[in-house]
Amino acid sequence: MTSTKSKVLWGIVTVLVAVYALFPVASILATSFKAPSDLTNQKFLPSPGRATTGNYEQILVGDAQGLFLTALRNSIGICLISTFIAVVLATLCAYAIARLDFPGKKLVLTTALAVSIFPVISIVTPLFNLWRSIGLYDTWPGLIIPYLSLTLPISIWTLAAFFRQIPWELEQAAQVDGATTWQAFRKAIVPLAAPGVFTTAIIAFFIAWNDFVYGISLTSTEAARPVPAALAFFTGASQFEAPTGAISAAAIIVTIPVVVLVLAFQRQIVSGLTQGAVKG
Amino acid sequence: MTSAIPARPVSPDLEPDTTPGVGPGGPSDKKATAQYSDRVRAERRLGWILAGPAFIVMLAVTLYPILQAIYESLFQFRLTAPGEREFIGLGNYAVILSDGVWWSALWTTLLITIVTVAVELVLGFALALVMHKALKAVRGPLRTAILVPYGIITVVSAFAWFYAFDINSGYVNSWFAWLPGIDSDLNWFAQGPTALFVIMASEIWKTTPFISLLLLAGLAQVPDELTEAAKVDGATWWEQMRKVIIPNMKAAIMVAVLFRALDAFRIFDNVFIMTNGAYGTEVLSLLAYRQSISRLEIGLGSAVSVLLFLCVLIICFIAIKLFKVDLAGAQGGK
């Protein structure tokens, strides 16, 4: 029966899902082009002829530049470093879990699970106090360290799942064919493991990029404040002006890398999330 | 879990070679017990050398702080008056548990957790079914669309929903003015129920993709033959769902629900952005934040943090004991 009818049906379903997934993004995108005086037009889109890029100018080259661009730099730097550390540690750990037999393997995995469901706010109070007394408050390392509690557990689970699927016999086969140990590892195993490591890095980065609790609790100035926290501190051009437009523009800018990554690597992200599935 | 590991290399003596610093394994043709146990010992040591750093870091960033919080919760201690630190035993806990603020925050948190997880389960299941059955041509676009909310920062989602409903900058009031109870004067964020509605909508929108991906993995594990057989026997779509598909993916559903419930229980970002806890929307994480970070009441804040942690433990305990959720099976049985 089907073909045309089911094609149309699936077309409609896909459009519905796309509307569900993209509507809030479209909403804030439209808001980001509204002029301050146009914000109260009670409409989805800016009033005709009044759309403006003023909000983007304000945060990229204007008054709010210092606030936003520093926060963006902090976010990118802190999240990349924390992701990098987590992925390196997790690669070693997941290799051992997938390939070696040692007592405590289950303990390591259970700990990763427990850490990933840990209420973040419970760690914040003691860290806040500790960081203030040892000088890590409002610094990059002061966020990179607690971010490991977000990025490390998911990395371990995702990578362990990936590594378990690698046919490690290939390494031996390569050695039988005359490759040295290192060659066998580099030529047979690394190409198989690399996509898993890369996917894990993306997922871990998303989680760090999303953090808000650590960001507002453990920083007080632009020295280390990441974007999500900075958004909550945005103020309007004057005290009588709502920061709505500037926040929307900033929100769109930090959403772009996410959308690009999702578009480019959706297949890998889905398989990473469902195989290692601990926590998104 | 150990049994699920796919075939390891037959001769373990290759392993030490792949990692420098452990030394080459002994001659592999000898099966002497002494040498075998040497190899086992070397493998165990290597295992801990590789897994140890990650393990220690995880403990350092969670176990240590929570122990510190337990210790500090026993003191009356305000950062603004460091000299007046005083041991008061369980006094902070007595103060919190006898205060209506704690209980109302607890109920609000539980309400948000239950409603969002229930809605997400239904919505996520529908999305998972759609992705599972989708024609090849639309599978990619569907997956991409569903992943967008997953990747978006929660704070951004909160602002998007907040601005859409806001009485000044929003368009929801004018769009839905035809519905009873909605007009241009409705301030969604000035009373509890409507504010919670928007908070939950944002939370649901952002986290449903995750739950639907977990359910999709569960769906993929239901053997096709079973559904086919049920179809041949004349089972309706609903009967297939209820008698074949859902029972066969119960484990995946339970794991998804538990993870989302624990995640929803620590909700913070959406509430902070939209109401900052006003009008009866205070949640536990926000209460802890307010005590420690805003008011610098380290003792009280630590006690709230410890109580929040205990709540999470209780939820886990109930899930594992009562509903027999197999967390180790969270890997989708792979």
Q: For residue B175, tell me if it sits in a domain.
A: yes
Q: For residue B127, tell me if it sits in a domain.
A: yes
What contacts A170, CB < 8 A, 6 or more positions away?
A188, A189, A192
Could you tell me the two tokens for B15?
A: 């392993």
What contacts B57, CB < 8 A, 6 or more positions away?
A89, A148, A152
Q: How many residues are there in chain B? A: 334
Q: Clarify whether residues B16 and B119 are in a common domain.
A: no
Whether residue A96 has pLDDT greater than 80: yes
Q: Containing domain of residue B259, as a range?
A: 91-331
Of B11, B39, B60, the last residue of a domain is B60
The identity of residue A120, as a single letter, is V
Q: Clarify whether residues B115 and B24 are in a common domain.
A: no
Closest CB to A126 among B171, B214, B302:
B302
Residue A274, min C-alpha distance to chain B (Å): 6
* Spatial contact of A245 and B146, defined as CB atoms under 8 Å apart: no
Q: For residue B77, tell me if it sits in a domain.
A: no
Could you tell me the two tokens for A215?
A: 């960001």
Q: Is B121 helix (H, G, I), strand (E, B) or coil?
A: helix
What's the whole-number mean pLDDT along residues A94-99?
Answer: 87
Q: For residue B279, tell me if it sits in a domain.
A: yes
Start-to-end CA distance of chain A, whole Å, equals 40
| Predicted pLDDT at A88 | 93
Closest CB to A123 among B66, B168, B293:
B66
* Spatial contact of A198 and A190, defined as CB atoms under 8 Å apart: no
B152/A258 touch (CB, cutoff 8 Å), yes or no:
yes
Q: Rounded CA gap, A118 and A124, in Å?
A: 11
Alpha helices in chain A (DSSP H): 3-32, 54-60, 65-99, 105-116, 120-134, 140-164, 169-176, 181-184, 190-210, 213-217, 227-233, 244-276
| Residues within 8 A of B (CB atoms), A 186-205 only | none
Q: Clarify whether residues B100 and B56 are in a common domain.
A: no
Interface confidence, given as ipTM, is 0.89
pLDDT band at A23 (very low <50, low <70, confident <90, very high): very high
* Spatial contact of B283 and B268, defined as CB atoms under 8 Å apart: yes
φ, ψ at B289 (rounded to 5°): -60, -45
Q: Is A31 helix (H, G, I), strand (E, B) or coil?
A: helix
Identify the CA nearest to A31 among candidates A15, A43, A13, A14.
Answer: A43
CATH number at residue B312: 1.10.3720.10
| Predicted pLDDT at B133 | 82
Residue A90, min C-alpha distance to chain B (Å): 6
User: What single-letter DSSP state applies at residue B297?
Assistant: B
| Predicted pLDDT at B10 | 37
Q: Clarify whether residues B145 and B187 are in a common domain.
A: yes
Q: For residue B281, tell me if it sits in a domain.
A: yes
Q: Which of A54-58, A149-153, A217-221 has the lowest mean pLDDT?
A: A54-58
Q: Give how far the C-alpha of residue A265 lies from the chain's centroid of Cα atoms, to the nearest Å.
A: 13
| Predicted pLDDT at A276 | 56
Q: Clarify whether residues B161 and B113 are in a common domain.
A: yes
B1/A106 touch (CB, cutoff 8 Å), yes or no:
yes
Identify the CA nearest to B247 among candidates B222, B281, B213.
Answer: B222
Q: Clarify whether residues B96 and B200 are in a common domain.
A: yes
Which residues of chain B register pLDDT less than 70? 1-36, 325-334
Residue with token string 């405590």: A104
φ, ψ at A181 (rounded to 5°): -55, -45
User: What single-letter DSSP state applies at residue A186?
Assistant: I
Could you tell me the two tokens for B3?
A: 């049994």
Domain ranges for chain A: 58-276
User: What single-letter DSSP state applies at residue B27?
Assistant: -
Q: Give how far the C-alpha of residue A122 lies from the chain's centroid of Cα atoms, to the nearest Å.
A: 22
pLDDT band at A25 (very low <50, low <70, confident <90, very high): very high
Read out DSSP for B130-194?
HHHH--HHHHHHHHHHHHHHHHS-HHHHHHHHHHHH-TTT-SHHHHTTTSTT--TT--GGGSHHH
Q: Clarify whether residues B47 and B141 are in a common domain.
A: no
Q: For residue B76, tell me if it sits in a domain.
A: no
Of B60, B79, B101, the last residue of a domain is B60
For the beta carbon of residue B168, count every other beta carbon within 10 angstroms.
12
Query: How far are the Cα atoms of A159, A264, B135, B136, B204 from residue B141, in angstroms, in the given order?
Result: 26, 12, 11, 10, 21
Query: With left for phi above 0 and alpha for psi between -120 and 50, is residue A178 left, alpha or beta?
Result: left
Read out DSSP for B314-329?
HHHHHHHHHS---GGG
Interface contacts (A, B; CB < 8 Å)? 353
**What topology does CATH give the domain A58-276?**
MetI-like fold (1.10.3720)
Read out DSSP for B213-258?
HHHHHHHHTS-HHHHHHHHHTT--HHHIIIIIIHHHTHHHHHHHHH
Q: Rounded CA gap, B100 and B97, in Å?
A: 8
Give the relative orientation of helices B298-322 and A120-134 as an angle to the nearest 10 degrees: 150
A31/B163 touch (CB, cutoff 8 Å), yes or no:
yes
B266/A227 touch (CB, cutoff 8 Å), yes or no:
no
Q: For residue B75, tell me if it sits in a domain.
A: no
Q: Clarify whether residues B56 and B102 are in a common domain.
A: no
Chain A residue with Cα closest to B54: A89
Could you tell me the two tokens for B149?
A: 């909310």
Q: Rounded CA gap, B194 and B174, in Å?
A: 16
Q: Give how far the C-alpha of residue B15 lies from the chain's centroid of Cα atoms, to the nearest Å.
A: 36
| Residues within 8 A of A (CB atoms), B 232-291 only | 255, 259, 262-263, 265-266, 268-269, 272-273, 284-285, 288-289, 291
Query: How far are the Cα atoms of A158, A263, B209, B253, B258 from residue A273, in angstroms, in the given order?
Result: 7, 15, 11, 15, 16
- Helix H or strand E segment including B86: strand B81-87
Closest CB to A277 among B50, B157, B332:
B332
Q: Clarify whether residues B37 and B100 are in a common domain.
A: no
What's the whole-number mean pLDDT along residues A163-182?
Answer: 81
Between CA A62 and CA A64, with CA A63 as vertex, the angle to 5 degrees is: 100
The identity of residue A182, as a single letter, is W
Q: Clarify whether residues B186 and B102 are in a common domain.
A: yes
Give the relative orientation of helices A244-276 and B154-165 as an angle to the nearest 10 degrees: 130
Percentage of chain A lying above the pLDDT 70 cut: 95
Start-to-end CA distance of chain B, whole Å, equals 9
Whether residue A97 has pLDDT greater than 70: yes
Query: How far are the Cα atoms of A7, A55, B161 from residue A31, in angstroms, in the given order?
Result: 34, 10, 11
Q: Rounded CA gap, A252 and B322, in Å?
A: 44
Structural domain count of chain B: 2
Closest CB to B334 among A14, A21, A161:
A161
Q: Is B82 helix (H, G, I), strand (E, B) or coil?
A: strand
Query: How far are the Cα atoms of B290, B298, B302 from residue B71, in angstroms, in the given order?
Result: 19, 11, 8
Chain A residue with Cα closest to B6: A164
A244/B130 touch (CB, cutoff 8 Å), yes or no:
no
| CB contact B2 to A (< 8 Å) | yes
For the beta carbon of residue A46, count every other beta carbon within 10 angstroms.
19
Residues of chain B contacting A132 with CB distance shorter than 8 Å: 79
Chain B residue with Cα closest to A96: B47
Could you tell me the two tokens for B180?
A: 């009873």
| CB contact A153 to B (< 8 Å) | yes
Q: For residue B70, tell me if it sits in a domain.
A: no
